[in-house]
Amino acid sequence: MAASPENTVPQASRNAAGGVRPAVVIGGNRIPFARAHGHYAHASNQDMLTAAIDGLVARFGLQGQRLGAVAGGAVLKHPRNFNLVREAVLATALAPDTPAYDVQMACATGMEAIGSLANKIRLGQLESGIGGGVDSTSDAPIAVSEGLRRMLLELHRAKTARQKLAAVARLRPRDLAPDAPGTAEPRTGLSMGEHQALTTAAWGITREAQDQLALASHRNLAAAYERNFFDDLITPYRGLARDANLRADTSAEKLASLQPVFGKDLGTTATMTAGNSTPLTDGAATVLLGSEDFARQHNLPMLANFLDFEAASVDFVRGREGLLMAPAYAVPRLLERNGLSLQDFDFYEIHEAFAGTVLSTLAAWEDAGFCRNKLGLDAPLGPVDRSRLNVNGSSLAAGHPFAATGGRIVATLAKLLHEKGSGRGLVSVCAAGGQGVAAILEAR
């Protein structure tokens, strides 16, 4: 990797000179990710988040300690979990006077929670914090229909018997059917998979390339387990010790035999299968962050600095960009702010919502037209060294409990960087609503 001279100045010191101090990733913990309606079918978001935090507390001996804050969230959240993270904290071994708050940014919830905590630490507002997220598609909230809901609200507002009767009379039989959350984008009615199918087709990403990425994800994740990489990143839960979605024995042939599931009726060639798309998953992930002082005072390891992060959004509603392409915009802005090029990284963690997402993003960065017209760059960002991409697997193999993915990635990347002892890692996570978050971590 040819770093230009100005890039050899460690970012940490550069930031320190800028008046903020480093935010350090101390470690992480997650529970293994389970497939929907599998091992965690009876666990709630709060249960899983509690387990993940408790595992982190046990790993780092934080029992009874008051941390600066715990930030996290869930994408599929029942209204009664309005204070999800705080309620989870109260169930953990952390001191009950640890503040907590909920964050929600779709699949980037975990990244936003971690990034905002890192910023507070960098500013000196906090000494420590836990960031992360949780999601359950097995224990998803089911709401009453809009009709029933409005009737109940009217009934509540009604004062006279006549008004009450009128409210009830408005109910229709179909209003009694419950309303389960879907993965469709509210403004378009298209599922995330269908949106990605359009982007995948637009970038001409082949079925073979997607299957190959999926295969690498499974192989890399399996190899990481084999070398005990996750021993200090995962705590088993409800009898599950490894990500249930992992298929260590999958092959190109098996992946090639799957039928497409997305994009079949979009007038494009359907290439996206259950094998190269992430399944619905349950799980929780957390990351412990702190100042250097906090880590030193508590004899805690310092794996990496959480250097910077950037969110971007795209207008998929008016057809200007693909739904999951926001990271393609967040990354160049982040690179520019930090004086880095796309090639200045030792590890790339690009969330595999779909294999097509990763490949479309990579293709965009290599495309001169995209980089010029959409990013306003003179030259393409260029290629990413694929041997540095998702080296310990990503969401295709591990699964993707929406809000938990950021925590999984940051902890994994921080440990990778610490093992290597030098260099930087780039995180890219796309999210529903045309959003995305990119982040830079630096080894220490």
Q: What residues line the site for another protein (CB under 8 A)?
A: 51, 54-55, 57-61, 63-64, 93, 185-190, 194, 198, 201-202, 228, 230-232, 234-238, 241, 265-268, 299-301, 316-320
Task: Specify the residue, 51 or 410, whose C-beta has the smaller distance to another protein.
Answer: 51
Closer CB to another protein, 151 or 216, in the complex: 151
**Has 400 been annotated as catalytic?**
yes
Shortest separation between residue 146's beta carbon and another protein, angstroms: 9
The C-alpha R_g of the chain, in whole angstroms, comes to 22
C-beta of 26 vs 440, nearer to another protein? 26
371 is known as an active-site residue: no
Annotated active-site residue in 39, 195, 351, 430: 430
- Minimum CB distance to another protein, residue 434 (Å): 11
Cβ nearer to another protein, comparing 107 with 314 = 314
Residue 430 is a catalytic residue: yes
Write down the catalytic residue from 107, 195, 218, 351.
107
> In angstroms, what is the minimal distance from the CB of 194 to another protein?
7
Active-site choice (39, 218, 400, 418): 400
- The pair of three-digit structure tokens given for residue 347, joined into one six-digit string: 């590890």
Residue 444 CB, nearest approach to another protein (Å): 14
Q: Which is nearer to another protein, 115 or 434 (CB)?
A: 434
Angle (CA) 381-383-389 rounded to 5° is 120
Closest contact distance (angstroms) between CB of 371 and another protein is: 19
Point out the residues that are catalytic: 107, 400, 430
